Amino acid sequence: MTSEEARQLIRSVLHQVAPEADMDDVGEGETLQEALDLDSIDFLNFVIGLNEETGLEIPERDYPQLSTVGGCVTYLTSTR
């Protein structure tokens, strides 16, 4: 997966989880949960969405790596 594909994927999954949230407002290093006002269930749904799209079984201990857009991109591009 290229980083552009990863970015697209993150955008579409975030849109499903929080349709009101706009990813364009989130800086690369900003915490998604804070920037988009996601609660723990939203975040779990985000992880579920990534899992469904990529087939990756993302363990809970990896959650911190997914806290920012940049972190997500790195995670998705390096584990694939």
Partner 1 sequence: MPSLGADMEAGTVSQWLVKVGDEVHRGDVVAVVETEKSTIEVEIFESGTIAEILVPPGKRVPVGAVLAHVTSGAGHAANTVPSVSTATPAVPRAPVVTAAHAATVDAAISPPAPVARRSTVHSPVLRHLAQELGVDLVTLTGSGPGGAVTRADVEKAAGRGGDGTRRRGRATGKPKSVPPAELQPVTRVSSSPLARRKAADLGIDLSAVRGTGPHGSVIERDVQLAAAPALPEKAGPGTTVADDRAAAMRRAIGALMARSKREIPHYYLSTTIDLAAAAAWLEQANIERPVTARLVLPVLLLKATALAVGHVPEMNGFMIDDVFHPSEAVHVGVAVSLRTGGVIAPAIHDTGGLSLDELMTALKDLVGRARAGVLRSSEMSDPTITVTNLGDLGVEAVFGVIYPPQVALVGFGRVTEQPWAHDGMLGIRPCVTATLSADHRVSDGHRGARFLTEINRLLQEPEKL
What's the closest the beta carbon of residue 51 comes to partner 1, in angstroms?
4
Q: Which stretch binds partner 1 (CB under 8 A): 2-10, 31-39, 65-73?
A: 31-39
Given 39, 78, 79, 80, the residue binding partner 1 (CB under 8 A) = 39
Bridge partner residues of 68 (DSSP) = 31
One-letter amino acid identity for 42? Answer: D
Do residues 14 and 46 make contact, with C-beta atoms less than 8 angstroms apart? yes
- Residue 23 sits in the site that holds partner 1 (CB under 8 A): no
Beta-carbon contacts of 10 under 8 Å, excluding residues fewer than 6 positions away, are 23, 50, 69, 72, 73, 76
Residues that bind partner 1 (CB under 8 A): 18, 20-21, 33-34, 37-41, 44-45, 47-48, 51, 57-60
